Amino acid sequence: MNTLDRDIRALMRRVTETAILPRYRNLSSAQIIEKAQDDLVTVADREAEVMLTEGLAAIDASIAIVGEEAAHADPTVLEGLAGDCWVIDPIDGTHNFAHGRAPFGILLARCADGICQSGWIYDCLTGRFCSAHGGQGAFVDGERISARTTGETRPVAAISTIFLDPAQREAIREHIAPHYRLVDVPRCAAEQYPRLALGQNDVSLFERTLAWDHAAGALWLNEAGGKVARPDGSPYRVDEPERTGLIGAASPPLWDELAALYARMS
């Protein structure tokens, strides 16, 4: 594990122990706020983002910092995604965290010119630490890993329909669902991406594709030998905040199959 990975892991652990876990199953109703429908924020999210921002600035203060909560308060923060930047999701899986259940984690990424260069995923309850750097492979707790499929005859699909309209949900039921064994989504990208590489899920489909949710995971799964891309095959970029639709898979052939089915929906 290189020095940057060690520093990032230490930061994530410190924030978890100081700002996140003390609030787990210990939140009052006043400490949980609905930013939008099905989109919560807690006092722990805000405290964690402040700590992560300070920690990343200490590592490299020369680049912009784009945090989920900072961008919600001031949308001009998103302009930082076009250049060199850190991207922060202080608690990914806030809905789970706010309701006192797993999974939830921290997602951090370092990006340049719209492309994620380095990504880190930390499971706050288990301490699992996933890391990746462009062209250098994917790692779990410092050990290099290669993505593997579930090996099931009927591929396992975790498809989020939370942000879909009724017509989109019906299209998935008609064109995609019959080809897979569907399983519940964890409502947490920090868990979903590892599931795609570690033999638990084969494919996943995302509608909302915000940078803090997907930058780190998309790079990590691609570096592991899986595939993450837009349905048309174009690479995921963090500087396209309005764009939707993203397919992740444990292998390129599985990605191709789901992309072909997805194309029938339109």
Q: Are residues 97 and 196 in the same domain?
A: no
Q: Are residues 161 and 130 in the same domain?
A: no
pLDDT of 30 > 90? The answer is no
Q: Are residues 173 and 112 in the same domain?
A: no
Assigned domain for 16 exists: yes
pLDDT of 239 > 80? The answer is yes
Please say which residue of 124, 144, 164 terminates a domain: 144
Whole-angstrom Cα distance, residue 144 to residue 121?
Answer: 14
DSSP state of 207: E
Q: Are residues 139 and 8 in the same domain?
A: yes
Could you read off the pLDDT of 118-159 as tens digits, one per residue?
Answer: 999 999 999 999 999 999 999 999 999 999 999 999 999 999
Assigned domain for 230 exists: yes
The domain that holds 228 is classified in CATH as 3.40.190.80
Please say which residue of 118, 144, 170 terminates a domain: 144
Q: Are residues 120 and 212 in the same domain?
A: no
Higher pLDDT, 139 or 265: 139
Q: How many domains does the chain have?
A: 2
pLDDT of 162 > 90? The answer is no
Please say which residue of 109, 144, 179 terminates a domain: 144
Q: Are residues 102 and 232 in the same domain?
A: no
Assigned domain for 151 exists: no
pLDDT at 266: 67
Assigned domain for 150 exists: no
The domain that holds 68 is classified in CATH as 3.30.540.10
Could you read off the pLDDT of 60-86 as tens digits, one per residue?
Answer: 999 999 999 999 999 999 999 999 999
Q: Are residues 23 and 132 in the same domain?
A: yes
Distant-in-sequence, close-in-space partners of 145: CB < 8 Å, separation ≥ 6: 138, 139, 197, 198, 224
pLDDT at 27: 87
Assigned domain for 224 exists: yes
> pLDDT above 90 covers what percent of the chain?
85
pLDDT at 214: 98
Q: What is the mean pLDDT of residues 213-239?
A: 97
Q: Are residues 122 and 24 in the same domain?
A: yes
Q: Are residues 111 and 29 in the same domain?
A: yes
Average pLDDT score, the chain: 94
Q: Are residues 162 and 101 in the same domain?
A: no
Q: Are residues 191 and 93 in the same domain?
A: no
The end-to-end CA distance of the chain, in Å, is 44
53-62 core/surface letters (b: 16 or more CB in 10 A; e: else): bebbeeeeee
What is the domain range of residue 202? 156-263
Assigned domain for 198 exists: yes
Q: Are residues 136 and 40 in the same domain?
A: yes
pLDDT of 57 > 80? The answer is yes
Please tell me whether residue 188 adopts helix, strand or coil conformation. Answer: coil
Assigned domain for 258 exists: yes
Assigned domain for 149 exists: no
Higher pLDDT, 41 or 139: 139
pLDDT of 36 > 80? The answer is no
pLDDT band at 38 (very low <50, low <70, confident <90, very high): low
pLDDT at 28: 86
